[in-house]
Every structure is written in C-alpha cells, then in structure tokens.
Structure 1
C-alpha cells in the first residue's frame, strides 16, 4: 500500500530524532523517495516547529550531548543494532538514546541491512574495535528459524546486552539475557475486547507475518477470540501480499475490502497505521463506511490520529521500551553482567479510542 505524506513525515521525524542530525540526501535514500520529496518533508516539519533545518541537513530539537571520550570517566560506549528502515523501532531507539545520553554514555547506531544473518557480522565488527561495552539489539528475525540461528551466538557474547522488542522463546539460549518488550498479547486483547463490547461478532485481523511482533499479534488474536464465546467468526489474513516471511511468494487472496464483504465482518484489527488508513479508503470505495458498517482498530498509533476518521488504535509505548532497555543495560554496566537475575520487562500498551469504531447497527 502506498504510504501517505503524513506517514512519511512521521518516519522522517523519527529518524532525525533517533540520530540527532541527518543529511537530506541520506533521508531520501533511507525512505526510498526523491531528494525533493525529502526536502519538502523536512521544510514542512521545520515550519511546524518539530525539527530544525540546516544547509542540507535536518536536526532534532532534542539537545544532543557531545559524545564522551572512551576511557574517560563516563566514557562507556553502547552499540545499538536495529533493522534499517524500520519506523516502529526508530521510536524505541529514540527512547534508548535519551536515557543513555542522560547517563553520559556514548551511543553508536548500526542499522542492519534487510538480509538474513545481517546482525552477526555487524556485532562481530563492532566488538572487534574494543571500545563497545554494551549492546542494545533488535534482530529482524523474519522467521522462527532465523531466531533459532541467532540465539546461540547472541547468548555467547561476553558483554552485557539487552533485547529490545524481542523476547526469548522457551528453551532459548537467550533466556538468561535481559529483554524489554511490548506485551502485544495484552494490546490485541484490548482491541478485541473493545470490538466485542461494541457488539461486533465477526472479526478480522490483518497482520504481517515476518517479524516477532507480527507473529505475536497473530497468536494473540486467535487466543483472544477463542476466549470470547461472543465471537462467531475470527479470520487472520496477511495485511498485504508482500507481508509474509517470503515476500516473493504472494498469496492469491481477495483484497481485504472484498474479504470483509465476503465474511460479513464488522470489525477489523489492522497491523500498521498506514495500512489501516489505506483500508478505510478501500472500504469506502467498496461502499463500506467506517465506522457505520465496519469498525477499524489500527495497531501502532504513529499516525492513526491523522486519519479521516481518526483511527482507534493500540499504542505501544515504544520510547518507554527503549528507555527501560537502556536502564537495564546501564545497571549491567555498573554491576557486572553476571550480577542479578535476568529480567524480562513487559510494557503494556494502551487503547486510544477515536472515531473509527462504533457500536454495531441493529
């Protein structure tokens, strides 16, 4: 689905806030748009007072401390490894950055390319330099098999690390490491509970299937619907043809709007704000009004409030996830990696009710 201008500008802002300063040409390459489009987005955000514009660069309004010198007091260096072009994790990185800078710790960001196994050579190279004392990491893990592959080498690292928005599976070699993750099961349950309370009985979840978050949402939706006898039918589909673990294999399925009509669904939970905004338009084109005929809940809440109508959304506290992950890592750096039990922190999202959900018409 084509991204809206508001969604793209939100991604621009998230990248700039995560890094402090970014060249416009780099933004254009990362967001896969023209330099002219990136420049217009930066100018618009600057007029709104959300960032500062310099000669060919965009700067965050959040003050950036000069990085401390490794080896001096407070000169710890922490590496952040996250997938490139991942808007969701940009806010997580921003939260971690704020907490680490407040503690006087130098941060080095390493975006991982969208290829299998990209994180390990990056981490190996980073640690070979000898300056990095801690690691915050969110592996891509497009499949469960990819997660299994990464478990052993990550668990064997000899520096403190904290997983961000990733949770070790039962029996994983990583179960002895710290992690901070949104409780996506709780978030999906909030969405289903809200729709059921409004009288919706035939529900659809449209989600990706190529990340730990996506897999958690799909499992949680099935569980939440099964636990409520009021739900007469629950359907799980891909949010887009390329949203599976293997984007080269696009399933031959009807459009989501057609599926809603076919199944008689009156409530949809959509993984991702941009896809949810596009769904509202597609439903309207099919003669289905939101929320009169179908209620829509977005899962993310980055730009959901900018929709017409504004979208009800599950809002993960992404910056808080990053802040808490940084706090755990700082404790490990201060006390030693082997001191204390490993901790798994689950951060509860909230449901923000707006105009895209309503009681079922009778």
Structure 2
C-alpha cells in the first residue's frame, strides 16, 4: 500500500534531524521511493520552514553551513570514457544523475582508440577548470595500464576510476575505484552451466581491456577448481579482440565446439556473442540443444534470435557509486575507496540441461 505523504515527510524529518545533512538520492534509496518524490516532499517541507534545501542536500533548520559535508555547487566534473564503448554508456548515465543532483555539470569527453589518449584529455579538462575526474581508460594491454599509473597518481584533483582498478603496489594503487566483481560474474556463468550438467566448457573472450583480462583470469581459476569440469579452454572472441597479434584465433570456433564435444560456452562481450552464435548455427550447432550459451555484458544479449542467457555487471550502479565517491572526495573526505559491485545472471532461452 502506498505510504501517505505526511508519514513519508515525517520519516524524512527524522532522518535529517538525526544526521544533520542528507543527500536527496540517499533519502530516496532509504525510503524506497523515487528521487522526484523526495524532491517534491523536500520542496514542500522547505516552504513550511521545517528543513533547509541545498544542491541535492537536505539539512535541518539551524544547521550551520560549515558543518555540512557538501561540495560547493557549480563547476564541472570531467567524465572520460573510450570511444565506441557501449558497455560504459549506462555507467555514464548513472554518474550523470548523481552529479547533476548535487549541482555539478558533467563534461563528457570521448577518448579515441589511440594509446595514451586519456592523459591529454584529462589535462585539457583540468586546464578548463574541472573540479574532479571520473575516468575509464581503455588500457588495451597491461603495459598501457602501467604507463598511466604515474600521472594518474599526480592529477591533483579528486579522481575515481570507473570499471578499472590499478595494480596492487603501483603508483596509482591509492586512487579511488569502483568496478564490477568480474570474478563473481565468471562464477555465475560457470556455476549455471555446471548446474545444468555441462562438463566441457569454453570461454571465448576479448583480451583488450581490464574487464576482459579479469574475466579470463577468473574463468580459468574457477573451472580449474571445479572437479566436475572435464575439459575447458579460452580463445579470443573476435579477430580484433586482443591488444596485438597473438597465437589465439577465433577462426574455427564452431569446429572446436564440435570436435572437443563442448556443450557450454561463455561469450564476452554481447556483440561477439551474437556473432559466434550465428557461426555455430551456420555450422549446424544448435543453441541451446547442442550447445548452451551464456553471454557476458548483457547490453544487447537479449535481442538475439535466441535471447541469450547473460551475466550483467551493474553498469549504471557502478557509475552512480563512482559519482558518489567523487562527491565525498570533493567534500573533503580522505579515505580511499575501492568498491566492487556484484553482477547478476538473467536466464533466457540459450541454456538448457544436458
């Protein structure tokens, strides 16, 4: 049953009175209502003189401004993401909602597919007055990642890495980061297939991003520790899915599935998954009757001719939490945060028991 507005406003008043200052977005989450509803309640309460409104923040009447942990309204946050990276677009939206609610403008910058493209973009944004940075470097290789650690640690304004985590012990080890727990995502995929009776499992994955490399490492660790799995392997999911020429090749993927008796595959990312399912069909391998498929990303996996069972990293939530971490830094908080959020599994028509 819908809660009466009067009761909800009493709850808002109680929370604000006990904490001194609360963000509208936090109130909405705690009260399990929309931000729009809370904002409307707060406007009415402010007109009645029982609370004070700020930029995305509610305060009790009489609380001095100096006690409020809130960034000064105005200015821009630079949000830097790779070109043609649909996976991160939901994260961008999640971050934008939080930052604009706090009174900050989001300046979106698209980094081209060139090694080291992010650094000059960030430096230009800082020269233009950016107060903080949300950054998702492409990092096609481990060497490219290592090359960025030094300047990342010296940016000079609050910076939060989005779906990226610098290597332990590196110069950027203490940079804030928010990302998906891709080990858990790989576990969801493997556990689902093993639970359906699959004992021969193949991962076809990219190898040109931190997400891809984390997924490949996790998959290998997980299947090697599952005694039920008789045969497993890892191949590239597309000819251009690596940082450079390598021994792996996606050619013959369907042949490997047939010749090795593979009955379950995990495919990263969605576009490659849909194309590889088409390749299987062209070679007479039916999904899911002959081979079950789990996609990883779940951006367009459900749109295939056979909607694909998929692991979905919490993309929008990653962006939202990254923005919240950045706001805390802008408000003066010094504690470094390294946040991991759990993916979820959506079962569709591409998996079945053997």
Which of the five TM-score ranges fits, normalised by the shorter chain?
0.7 to 0.9
Q: How is 1:122-271 mapped onto 2 (pairs within 5 angstroms)?
A: 122-129=121-128, 131-246=129-244, 254-271=251-268
Distance 1:191 1:252, change over 3 A: closer
Superimposed CA distance per residue, residues 18-65 of structure 1 (whole angstroms, 9 cap, x where no aligned partner): xxxxxxxxxxxxxxxxxxxxxxxxxxxxxxxxxxxxxxxxxxxxxxxx
Larger Rg: 2
Query: 1: distance between equivalents of 2:280 and 2:246?
Result: 25
Q: Which runs of 5+ in 1 are unaligned?
A: 1-71
Alpha-carbon distance, 1:218 to partner: 0.4
Alpha-carbon distance, 1:345 to partner: 0.5
Query: 1: distance between equivalents of 2:324 and 2:250?
Result: 45
Query: 2: distance between equivalents of 1:302 and 1:84?
Result: 16
Q: CA RMSD in A?
A: 1.5
Match of 1:342 in 2: 336
Superimposed CA distance per residue, residues 242-265 of structure 1 (whole angstroms, 9 cap, x where no aligned partner): 11111x668556321111112210
Superimposed CA distance per residue, residues 160-210 of structure 1 (whole angstroms, 9 cap, x where no aligned partner): 000000012111111211100000110001000000011101110000111
Query: 2: distance between equivalents of 1:125 and 1:272?
Result: 32
Q: What secondary structure sits across from 2:229 in the alignment?
A: coil
Query: 2: distance between equivalents of 1:78 and 1:132?
Result: 5
Query: 2: distance between equivalents of 1:252 and 1:223?
Result: 22
Match of 2:73 in 1: 74
C-alpha contact (below 8 Å) 1:242/1:250 kept by paired residues = no
Distance 1:283 1:84, change over 3 A: same
Aligned pair count reads 284
C-alpha contact (below 8 Å) 1:267/1:295 kept by paired residues = yes
1:354 aligns with 2:352: no
Query: 2: distance between equivalents of 1:122 and 1:230?
Result: 49
* Counterpart pick for 2:270 among 270, 273, 282: 273
Alpha-carbon distance, 1:151 to partner: 0.3
Q: Which runs of 5+ in 2 are unaligned?
A: 1-70
C-alpha contact (below 8 Å) 2:185/2:342 kept by paired residues = yes
Query: 1: distance between equivalents of 2:300 and 2:190?
Result: 21
Distance 1:341 1:252, change over 3 A: closer
C-alpha contact (below 8 Å) 1:206/1:271 kept by paired residues = yes
* Counterpart pick for 1:309 among 280, 299, 306: 306
Q: What secondary structure sits across from 1:132 in the alignment?
A: coil
Superimposed CA distance per residue, residues 330-356 of structure 1 (whole angstroms, 9 cap, x where no aligned partner): 111112xxx432111101000001110
Query: 2: distance between equivalents of 1:89 and 1:190?
Result: 21
Query: 1: distance between equivalents of 2:317 and 2:249?
Result: 39
Query: 2: distance between equivalents of 1:73 and 1:272?
Result: 40
C-alpha contact (below 8 Å) 1:268/1:294 kept by paired residues = yes
C-alpha contact (below 8 Å) 2:235/2:250 kept by paired residues = no
Query: 1: distance between equivalents of 2:250 and 2:206?
Result: 14
Alpha-carbon distance, 1:138 to partner: 0.5
Query: 1: distance between equivalents of 2:267 and 2:338?
Result: 27
Alpha-carbon distance, 1:73 to partner: 5.5
* Structure 2 length-normalised TM: 0.78
Query: 2: distance between equivalents of 1:303 and 1:153?
Result: 35
Q: What secondary structure sits across from 1:298 in the alignment?
A: strand
Query: 2: distance between equivalents of 1:249 and 1:265?
Result: 23
Query: 2: distance between equivalents of 1:250 and 1:223?
Result: 21
Query: 2: distance between equivalents of 1:97 and 1:298?
Result: 27
